[in-house]
Structure 1
Amino acid sequence: MPHTHHTTLISATNLAERLAASPGSVFLADCRFDLAAPDAGAAAYAAGHIPGAHYLHLDRDLSGAKTGHNGRHPLPARGALVAMLQGLGLNEHQQVVAYDAHGGMYAARLWWLLRWLGHDSVALLDGGLQTWQAAGQPLDTTESPRSKGTFKAGAPLAVTVDVDAVVRSMGTHEHLLLDARAADRYRGENETLDPVGGHIPGALNRFFKDNLNADGRFKSAHELREVFGSLIGATSPEHIVLQCGSGVTACHNALAMEIAGLHGAALYPGSWSEWCSDPSRPVARGATP
């Protein structure tokens, strides 16, 4: 019996039904993390995770090597990412479901990375681990076994721009930047993660948590389309560049735009942490772009 192809979100109910009917058809990824305590996610996984899930660490598995000038969470090498996923047992065309307990702020990174590798059968568990537990579904404390998978990369379904393209756009206005950080960090206040506070001149602010309802689930496609549409105006999605502090929560806005049917936005992976590493690049502060 064919299964529904999920490319953005899946509910806890639908996931539980699918796992009961065909557990091997789903690759589960636990992406819990804490920027202030990098080992907290792995500890939470060990304390209890969705049965069959593998743990993916933001720094070790979903990011590449830092140079001091490429941001706090540079993209991993494509080959290394493919090999890691193969080693966990991911197969070609397999449905991936990623989750965390933080509104999707880390799981969305894996969603974006898999699309970057050409794999569109990837969805977030809407509402995260909390909705799974609220539905009375079980947790497991044993590490899931690994096997050799058949996964391989295809043509990218997600695109990036580099810092040079962002610099050029300041003169050509080819791109419109959306900054996913909280409003205070965008304004240059209360900056604790990066050495410089502020934002890239011209960037608009769209806090990623505003994509969610109070219950932690994503807002409807209609709601997201209205709010992103009012923000970007006549700019086509293909000319939108998404950024944040280090290229992680910007993926949350990418997912929200995909849910809204606004396809084609690019990611600036280095984001603010790369931008501010060069003192010659301009900095804007305050609430205006």
Structure 2
Amino acid sequence: MYQTLIDAATLAAHVDDPRWVVIDCRHDLMDPASGRDAFAAGHIPGAQFASIDDDLSGPKTGQGATFRGRHPLPERAALVETLRRFGIDDDSQVVAYDAHGGMFAARLWWLLRWLGHEAVAVLDGGLPAWQAQGLALPTQATPRAQGTLTDRPALTRTVSSGDVLANLSTQAFTVVDARANDRFRGENETIDPVGGHIPGARNRFFKDNLQADGSFKPAAQLKADFAPLFASPSQAVMQCGSGVTACHNLLALEVAGLPGAALYPGSWSEWCADPARPVSTGA
């Protein structure tokens, strides 16, 4: 069972195993159609395509037209049906990949753990690692039979905007923001019309989890990198712009042997939508 990362050679040895399900999570926040287009141009054999916007996120507005962020969590039942459509069973080994160091694949990794599915891993190095081995990239889609995945007790934790707001007084946990430094400081209005960060948050850009080739840093290095940010992962909450790349930090923590941190799914896009919530800028 692979639960965090898997290398390209190991995946290649199992692509014909009917118990293995490979999911292509390629995406571009500025060009939502690019992931599906890239999949059609070539993908890992047998892979299914999952859209970050359509398959791995829920409606942006909740009851009373409350804005829930750019990529809110889907309803659990709806997510189960989506993942069954990809052919996932309770005993499936799922492998998620993208071409961006895992920044989108980690979202599917986290969502499956949210549904209680342990056997899910991210392809370390993503599609470039697959291509580096000269492995095939067919263009034809390969439909799978409907899966039988069930909703089981979550292996993850979440917090709400109310929890984060209350934490400004209690300081019960540390918020760690996975966005780039300029966005954290409030200096990138193109992506964040309301710039800045949640007061008291620490910054850990998700790309700092990676080596130059796009693979994850060794576990010991990741553990050392995260050590200054919080006393214990059980007292840490990961967030980002919309709850996607925060999952990359959560995956890195698992690789480092530091499980137990929570996700704030609404993240910055939900937080800053309410002008009553405080905002900090700068380093």
TM-score between the two structures when normalised by the length of structure 2:
0.97
Query: Paired residue for 2:106?
Result: 108
- Work out the CA distance in 2 between the residues paired with 1:274 and 1:162: 10
- Work out the CA distance in 2 between the residues paired with 1:199 and 1:16: 41
Partner of residue 255 from structure 1, selected from 251, 256, 268? 251
Query: Paired residue for 1:58?
Result: 52
Offset at residue 114 of structure 1 (A):
0.3
Query: Paired residue for 1:163?
Result: 161
Q: Does 1:241 align with 2:215?
A: no
Residue 159 of structure 2 contacts residue 265 of structure 2 at CA under 8 Å; is this kept in 1? yes
Residue 238 of structure 2 contacts residue 262 of structure 2 at CA under 8 Å; is this kept in 1? yes
Query: Paired residue for 2:183?
Result: 185
Query: Paired residue for 2:21?
Result: 27
- Work out the CA distance in 2 between the residues paired with 1:65 and 1:270: 12
Matches within 5 A, 1:65-104: 65-67=59-61, 69-104=67-102
- Work out the CA distance in 2 between the residues paired with 1:267 and 1:215: 27
Query: Paired residue for 2:264?
Result: 268
- Work out the CA distance in 2 between the residues paired with 1:93 and 1:191: 44
After superposition, the C-alpha distances for 1:105-153 in whole angstroms (9 at most, x for unaligned) are: 0000000000000001000000000010110110111112131111111
Query: Paired residue for 1:45?
Result: 39
- Work out the CA distance in 1 between the residues paired with 2:244 and 2:126: 17
After superposition, the C-alpha distances for 1:205-244 in whole angstroms (9 at most, x for unaligned) are: 0000000000000000000001101222xx2111100000
- Which amino acid in the other structure matches residue 64 of structure 1? G
Query: Paired residue for 1:215?
Result: 213
- Work out the CA distance in 2 between the residues paired with 1:108 and 1:29: 11
Percent identical residues: 59
How many pairs does the alignment contain? Answer: 279
Query: Paired residue for 2:128?
Result: 130
- Work out the CA distance in 2 between the residues paired with 1:97 and 1:134: 18
Query: Paired residue for 1:194?
Result: 192
- Which amino acid in the other structure matches residue 137 of structure 1? L
Q: Secondary structure at the match of 1:102?
A: coil
TM-score between the two structures when normalised by the length of structure 1:
0.95
Query: Paired residue for 1:7?
Result: 3
- Work out the CA distance in 2 between the residues paired with 1:286 and 1:144: 48
Offset at residue 93 of structure 1 (A):
1.8
Residue 87 of structure 2 contacts residue 144 of structure 2 at CA under 8 Å; is this kept in 1? yes
Residue 19 of structure 2 contacts residue 91 of structure 2 at CA under 8 Å; is this kept in 1? no
Offset at residue 18 of structure 1 (A):
2.2
User: Gaps (5+ residues) in structure 2?
Assistant: none
- Work out the CA distance in 2 between the residues paired with 1:252 and 1:62: 15
Offset at residue 193 of structure 1 (A):
2.4
User: Gaps (5+ residues) in structure 1?
Assistant: none
- Which amino acid in the other structure matches residue 186 of structure 1? F
Between 60-69 and 240-249, report the one with greater CA deviation: 60-69
Q: Does 1:280 align with 2:276?
A: yes
Offset at residue 165 of structure 1 (A):
0.3
Offset at residue 59 of structure 1 (A):
0.3
Offset at residue 92 of structure 1 (A):
1.0
Query: Paired residue for 1:151?
Result: 149
- Which amino acid in the other structure matches residue 236 of structure 1? S
- Which amino acid in the other structure matches residue 242 of structure 1? M
Between 187-196 and 274-283, report the one with greater CA deviation: 187-196
